[in-house]
Amino acid sequence: MATHTMGMPKKKSGIMDWLTTVDHKKIGVLYIFSGLFFLLVGGVEALMIRYQLIKPMNDFVSGEVFNQLITMHGTTMIFLAAMPMLIGYMNAAVPLQIGARDVAFPFLNALGFWLFFFGGLLLNLSWFMGAAPNAGWTAYAPLSTVPDALGVDFYALGLQISGFGTLMGGINFLVTILNMRAPGMKLMRMPMFTWTAFVASALIVFAFPPLTVGLFLLTFERLFGAHFFDPAAGGNIVIWEHLFWIFGHPEVYILILPAFGIFSEIIPTFARKRLFGYTTMVFATMLIGFLGFMVWVHHMFTVGLGPVANAIFAVATMAIAVPTGVKIFNWLFTLWGGKLTFPVAMLYSVAFIPSFLIGGMTGVMLSVAPADYQYHDSYFVVAHFHYVIVGGVVFGLFAGLYYWFPLMFGKKLHEGLGKIQFWLFFIGFHLTFFPQHILGLTGMPRRVFTYLPNQGWDMMNLLSTIGAAFMGVSTIILLVQLVMALTSKEYVKRDVWGDGRTLEWTLPVPTPEYNFAQTPLVKGLDTFWLEKMAGNTTVSVSEPVGDIHMPNNSILPFVMSVGLFLAGLGFILRLDYGTVGLVIAILGLATTLTAMFLRSWIDDHGYYIPKSVIEEDLRLEAEKEAK
Amino acid sequence: MVVKKTGKMLFRLLPIGLMALLLSGCGIPELSALQPRGEGAEIQLEIIKLSLWVMLFVLAIVTVIYVYVLMKFRRKKGDNEVPKQVEGSHTLEMIWTVIPILLLVVLAVPTIKATVELADAKEAKKNEVINVTANLYWWEFDYPDKGVTTGQELVIPVGKKVALNLTSKDVIHSFWVPVLSGKTDNNPGLENEMWLHAKEAGTYYGKCAELCGPSHALMDFKVIALEQADYDKWLEDMKAAKEAETKQLDAKNEKNWSKGEQVYAQNCLSCHGGGKVAPSLTNFGDRGNLAGYLKHDKKNLEDWIRDPQKLKQGTKMPGFNESQISDEDLSELADYLLDKKIQ
C-alpha cells in the first residue's frame, strides 16, 4: 500500500468513542444493551399487565392506562427489544463468521443504530408527555386516528424513525453478506446464522416499506387531517389492517429466523456434530421467508374478506408448517448421535424445541380459518404468539447472549447462576402462557383490562400471573450476571467453548478492531472445525500481512438521528403548542439535513493501520497462545 | 361377534371420549367455546378437535425422539471422542417433508368445507335478519322487518339459523358469542354477514373481541334464545310496549305523566328514544345487567346516571348532576326505568 498520507486518527476515549463508533462490534454491543434496556421496560409493563389481571375486577390500573400498557408492551418488545438485539447479534457475529473486517457500510450501520435508538426514545417519551399510545401495537384505525390524545402520534413517528434504522440495517447486511465474504466462503458454506441473517435482511427490505407507507398515512391522518381510514369521507378502515399485516407477518419471521440461526450454531457446537441437513435447512429458511409474505390475511380472518380469501390464506399458512417442521427434525437429528453437553446456551436451545413446537402446533390450529373465528383476539392467540416469540425468539436471544458474550466481551456469564436463571425462566414461561390457551377457549377476549368473577377464569389468570413473577425474578438474576461478568477481570481464551466450528472463534480475545489480521481462507462448511480435525490450531490465511484500511469514526449518524428525533417531537407538539412545535420541527429537520450535507461534502477516505502495528499484534497473540 | 365389534369400536372411541371429557370440563356453559350450544360453534369445535389431534400426533413423535436423544447422547466426563459428522439423509428428509404435507391435506379439506359452510347465510336470511350495530360501548340489535330495536340483549328463536348484518358506528368492534359461534368484526363503513344458531333455549354470554377503547372489557352483551312461540310473543310484546310508550310519551299526554316519566322524557328520550343513538330502554326492567356488566339494581342505576364515566371510561353517555336531576327526581326516574318490563 502506497499511501500513508491518512495517518491513524487519535483514539477517542470514553463516551465519545461510543457515540462516534462505526465498528460493527461496538455497534453490536450498543444494539444489545439498548435492546436489553427496552426488554426491561417491556418486561415491567408486562408485569403490570399481569398484576392487573391477577384477580377479577382488580383496580390496579384503569382501562385507559391498561391499554397504554399493552400497546407499549407489544411495540417495545417487538421493535425495541427483540429486533434490535437480533440485529445486535448480526453485528457482533456475521462479519466475523464470513471473515470480513467490517460491514459493507459502516457509517450506515451507525446511522441505523442511532435512528432505532432515538425512535425508541421518542416512543417512550410519550409516558412523560401525558399519554402513551393506546390503540394496541396493531394500531387499528379508526381507534388509532381519534385525535383526543397525542399517544398514537408518538407511535407513528417513533416507529417511523426507528423503522428507517431497521431498513438501513437490512440493506447493509444484504450487501455485506453478498460482497464481503472471505475467499472460499461460498454461499453454501456460510454458517447457518449468517444465512438466517441474510434471509431476515431480505425480509426487512421487503416488509418494512408497507409499514412505512402505513405509518405515513396514519401520520397524515392524525397531523394533517387526511381521511384515508375515515369511512365518512370515503376512506376505508381495512387498508390499515392490510398494510400493517403485510408488514406484520413477515416481521414474525424477521424475528424467528435469526433465532433459528442462533440455535443452529449452538446445537452443533455442543453436540460436537455438524448441522444435520444443512442444505435443506438453508432452503427451508428461504421457503419460510418466501411463504411469510403470502399469509398475512390469517391475522384478518374475522374482518369479513369472504370465504374464498379465508380458505386460500388458511391453506397457504398451513404450508409454512412443512419447512418449519423440517427444521425441527433436522435439529433433533443433529443431536442424534452427538456428544451433548449442556451449558446455559445449550439449555436454552434444547428447551426451545418443545416450547416452540407447541407454538407451531397452535399456529397450525390457528391457520384453520373456521376454528380461528373462535381463537381470534382471544387469549388463545396471546398464548400462541408468546409461545412463538418467547419460546422461540427470546430463548434465542438468551441462548445467543450466553453463547456470544465471551466473543463480545472476552468474559463469560456465570454458568451456575445462568442455570438458575434458565430454569426460573423456563418454568415461569410455561406457567404464564400455557393456561392462557384454556382462557381463550373458555371465552376470554384479549386486551381486556379486567374481567367479572364467575366466568371460570380466575384460577388460570392467577397461575399466569405467578408465572410472570418467575420470569421477573429470572430477569433480575440475568442483570446480576451481566454486572458480575462486566466487572470481572477473568478473561477467557480464544475458542472459549473448545468446539467452535465457525470463523468467529478463531479470533483472538478481545477481537482486534480490524478483526482478521489476515483474511482467512475458507475450505468448507464449519471451516474452523475442519482445520481442527486436520490437526491445525487455526485456519489458513489467504493474504500476507499488510496495511489495513479502516473507516473513520463519525458523530454525524448521531447528529442526524437527534435531528429526526427533534423533528418528530416538534410535529407532535405542533398540535398542542402550535408555533413552538413547528420551530422545533424545522430546527430538527435542519439539523439532519445539515449533517447529511456535511456527510456528502466532506471526503472521508478513512485511514490505514500500518503493517507494523499488525505484526506487533500478531507477535503478542502468539506469545499469549504459547503460554 | 357383535359384542367384539362393539368393544372394538368403544376402544376406538375411548381416546375421543377422554378428549371430549377433558375439553368439556373447561369453562362455564354460557361462555366456553368448548361447550357449544349452536351449530356454528359445533362445526368449529369439531375442526378444533381434528386439528388438535393431528398436532398431538406430531407432538408425540417429536417427544419420543426428543426424550430418547436427550437421554442417550449425553457426553460423559472425559469422553473426547468426536462423533460421526453426518451430512444428512435423503430418505429421512423426504419422510418428514411428505408426511406433514399429507397431514395438512387431511386438515385442509375440512377447513375449506367449514369455511364455506359458515359463510353461507342464504338459509338464515329466509328465517330472520337482524342488524347488529356496535357502538362505544354498547350493542344495538335491530329487527328491521318487525320494527323492533333492542339494546344489549339479542333475542333469537331456537332451532333455526338467523342472519346477522354487522356494522359499527365508530371504531372496530367484534361480535363474539363463544357457545354459539366464532366472531365476526363490526367494521365502521362496511357491513358483514354471519349466521347464528342456538340448539336450545337459554341465555348465552357475548363479548366484544376487538380492542375499542378503555371500556373494551366492559362491552358485554347477552344472547337470549327463545322457543319459537316465546320468540314470536316477545316480538309482539316488544312492539306493543314500544307503541304504548310512544303513545304515553306523546307530548299531548303530558299531564298523565308520572314524575319518573317526566324526568325520562326531558332528559333521556332524545338519545334513548329510538334505540339508535343510545340503547333502547323499552324493556330496561327485564335486563340482566346494567351497562353490560354491573348488577341491575337501583343503586347502580343512580350512580350510573350521575357519573357514567366513572363506571365506564370513555362512554358517550353524559352524566347528570344534581342541578340537572335532583336526588328526588333521580330516585323517581330509577324506579320508572326499572319498572319498564315486558315480561
Whether A560 is covered by a domain: the verdict is: no
B78 touches chain A (CB under 8 A): no
Looking at the structure of chain B, the number of domains it has is 1
Is B45 in contact with B33 (CB distance < 8 Å)? yes
Q: What is the pLDDT of residue B1?
A: 47
In the prediction, which pLDDT does B17 show?
55
Which amino acid makes up residue A174? L
- Share of chain B residues as helix, strand and coil, in percent rounded to the nearest 5: 50, 20, 35
pLDDT of residue B24: 46
Residues B150-164 have pLDDT tens digits of 999 999 999 999 999
Residue A13 has pLDDT above 80, yes or no: no
A146 and B185 within 8 Å at the Cβ level: the answer is no
* Chain A residues inside the 8 Å CB shell of B183: 302, 373-374, 376-377
Rg, chain A, Cα only: 25
Shortest distance between the Cα of B67 and any Cα of chain A, in A, equals: 10
In a domain, B95, yes or no: no
Q: Does B70 touch chain A (CB under 8 A)?
A: yes
**pLDDT the model gives residue B26:** 77
d(CA A588, CA A575): 17
Percent above pLDDT 70 for chain A:
98
Helix axes A344-367, A238-271, angle to 10 degrees: 140
- Strand, helix or coil at B146? coil
pLDDT at A5: 45
- Cα–Cα distance between A395 and A412 in angstroms, integer? 18
* A335 contacts B31? CB cut-off 8 A: no
Whether the CB-CB separation of A57 and A452 falls below 8 Å is answered with yes
| B218-244 per-residue burial string, b: 16 or more CB within 10 A, e: under 16 | bbbbbbbbbeeebbeebbebbbebbee
Would A567 be classed as within a structural domain?
A: no
Q: How many CB atoms lie within 10 A of CB B101?
A: 14
- The number of C-alpha atoms within 13 Å of A445 and in the hemisphere containing its C-beta is 30
Query: What is the count of residue pairs from A and B with beta carbons less than 8 Å apart?
Result: 294
As to burial, measured by CB atoms within 10 angstroms (0-12 exposed, 13-18 middle, 19+ buried), residue B46 is middle
Task: pLDDT band for A2, please (50, 70, 90 cuts).
Answer: very low
A536: in domain: yes
Q: How far is CA B333 from the centre of its chain?
A: 31
Tell me whether residues A142 and B88 touch, CB distance under 8 A.
Answer: no
Which residues in chain A have their CB less than 8 angstroms from residue B214's CB? 62-64, 66-67, 134, 449
Q: Are A551 and A606 in contact (CB under 8 A)?
A: yes
Helix H or strand E encompassing A183: none
Q: How far apart are CA B64 and CA B68, in angstroms?
A: 6
Judge whether A117 lies within some domain.
yes
N residues, chain B: 343
Q: Where are the beta strands (DSSP E) in chain B?
A: 129-135, 138-143, 148-151, 153-157, 162-168, 173-177, 181-186, 192-196, 202-208, 221-226, 289-290, 294-295
How many alpha carbons fall within 13 Å on the CB side of residue A179?
10
Q: Answer for the pair A427, A473: CB distance below 8 angstroms, yes or no.
A: no
Instruction: Judge whether B189 lies within some domain.
Output: no
- Residue B22 contacts A, CB cutoff 8 Å: no
* Record: contact A449-B216, CB cut-off 8 A: yes
pLDDT of residue A235: 93
Contacts of A338 in chain B (CB under 8 A): 73, 83
At residue A363's C-alpha, the angle toward residues A360 and A366, to 5°, is 160
Measured over the CA atoms of residue A569, residue A215, residue B173 and residue B42, the dihedral's sign is: negative
* pLDDT surpassing 80 at residue A303: yes
Strands B221-226 and B153-157 turn out to be parallel
**Residue A62: which residues within 8 A CB-CB, separation 6 or more?**
A449, B214, B313
Residue among A67, A326, A456 whose CB faces B28 most closely: A456
From B188's Cα to the closest Cα of chain A, the distance in A is: 7
| pLDDT given for residue B19 in this prediction | 57
Instruction: For residue B325, tell me if it sits in a domain.
Output: yes
Is A277 in Cβ contact with B93 (below 8 Å)?
yes
Stretch A600-621: mean pLDDT? 93
Nearest in space to B144 (alpha carbons), one of B136, B158, B159, B133:
B133
Measure the CA–CA gap between B89 and B96, rounded to whole angstroms.
11
The confidence score (pLDDT) of residue A625 equals: 84
For residue B21, being part of any structural domain is answered with no
User: Cβ A456–B70 below 8 Å, yes or no?
Assistant: no
Examine residue A324 and state whether it is found in any structural domain, yes or no.
yes
Into how many domains does chain A fold?
Answer: 1
- pLDDT reading at A120 higher than 90: yes
Candidates A302, A380, A457, partner chain B, best to mutate (most B CBs within 10 A): A302
Residues with Cβ within 8 Å of A24's Cβ and at least 6 positions away in sequence, in order, are A91, A92, A95, A102, A103, A106, A109
Q: Which residues of B touch A450 (CB under 8 A)?
A: 217-218
The answer to whether A447 and A465 have CB atoms below 8 angstroms apart is: no
| Residue A11 scores a pLDDT above 70 | no
Residue A347 has, within 13 A of its CA and on its CB side, a CA count of 18
Is the bond leading into A323 cis (omega within 30 degrees of zero)? Answer: no
Is residue B223 in some structural domain?
no
Indicate yes or no: CB of B33 within 8 angstroms of CB of A374: yes
Domain assignment present for residue A569? The answer is no
> In the prediction, which pLDDT does A533 show?
95
Check: CB of residue B93 under 8 Å from CB of residue B127.
Answer: no
Give the number of other CB atoms < 10 A from CB of residue A377.
22
The strand pairing partners of B194, in sequence order, are B164
Q: In this predicted model, what pLDDT tens digit does every residue of A556-583 receive, in sequence order? A: 999 999 999 999 999 988 777 778 899 9
pLDDT, one tens digit per residue, over A204-224 is 999 999 999 999 999 999 988
Residue pair B314/A63 in contact by the 8 Å Cβ criterion: yes
DSSP per-residue string spanning A519-554: -B---STTHHHHHHHTT-SS--BSS----EEEPPP-
The CATH number assigned to the domain holding A246 equals: 1.20.210.10
Q: Identify the pLDDT of residue A432.
A: 97
* Residues of chain A above pLDDT 90, percent: 92
Question: Cα distance from A595 to chain B (closest Cα, Å)?
Answer: 41
Note whether B222 contacts A: Cβ–Cβ < 8 A.
Answer: no
CB A29 within 8 A of CB A422: no
| Section A268-286 average pLDDT | 96
pLDDT digits (tens, 9 = 90+) for A139-171: 999 999 987 677 899 999 999 999 999 999 999
A30-71 tens-digit pLDDT: 999 999 999 999 999 999 999 999 999 999 999 999 999 999
Task: Name the residue facing A273 among B33, B83, B117 (closest C-beta).
Answer: B83
Say if CB A389 and CB A469 are below 8 A apart: no
- Report yes or no: B294 at the A interface, CB cutoff 8 Å: no
- Judge: A456–B26 Cβ closer than 8 Å, yes or no: yes
Q: Residue B80 domain-assigned?
A: no
Say if B61 is an interface residue toward chain A (CB within 8 Å). Answer: no
Tens digit of each residue's pLDDT, chain B (343 residues): 455 555 566 565 655 655 554 554 578 999 999 999 999 999 999 999 999 999 999 999 999 999 999 999 999 988 889 999 999 999 999 999 999 999 999 999 999 999 999 999 999 999 999 999 999 999 999 999 998 999 999 999 999 999 999 999 999 999 999 999 999 999 999 999 999 999 999 999 999 999 999 999 999 999 999 999 999 999 999 999 988 888 888 877 788 888 999 999 889 988 998 888 999 998 999 988 998 899 999 999 999 999 999 999 999 999 999 999 999 999 999 999 999 888 7
Average pLDDT, chain A: 95
Strand partners, A290: none
Please give the pLDDT value at position A225: 87
Cell of A297: 390475511
Q: Looking at chain B, which residue has its C-alpha nearest residue A358?
A: B59
A215 SS3 class: helix
Query: Other CB atoms closer than 10 Å to residue B3's CB: what's the count?
Result: 7
Does residue B218 belong to the interface with chain A, where contact is any CB pair within 8 Å? yes
Phi-psi region of A490 (alpha: psi -120 to 50; beta: other; left: phi over 0): beta
Question: Which has more confidence, B1 or A196?
Answer: A196
- How far A607 CA lies from chain B's nearest CA (Å)? 44
Min distance B170 CA to chain A CA atoms (Å): 8
- What CATH number does residue B327 fall under? 2.60.40.420
Across residues A85-112, what is the average pLDDT?
97
Which residue, B50, B193, B223, B176, is CA-closest to A377? B176
The answer to whether position A322 is within a domain reads: yes
What domain range includes position B248? 234-338
Min distance A288 CA to chain B CA atoms (Å): 14
Residues of B in contact with A336 (CB under 8 A): 65, 69, 73
Residue B277 lies in a domain: yes
Work out the number of other CB atoms within 10 angstroms of the CB of residue A86: 29
Q: Which of B42, B52, B63, B107 to mutate to test the interface with A (most CBs of A within 10 A)?
A: B107
| Cis ω for the linkage preceding B137 (within 30 of 0) | yes
Q: Which residue of B has its CA nearest to A442?
A: B32
Angle between helices A192-224 and A83-97 (to 10 degrees): 140
Task: Kindly state the cell numbers that stand for B339.
Answer: 319498572
pTM: 0.94
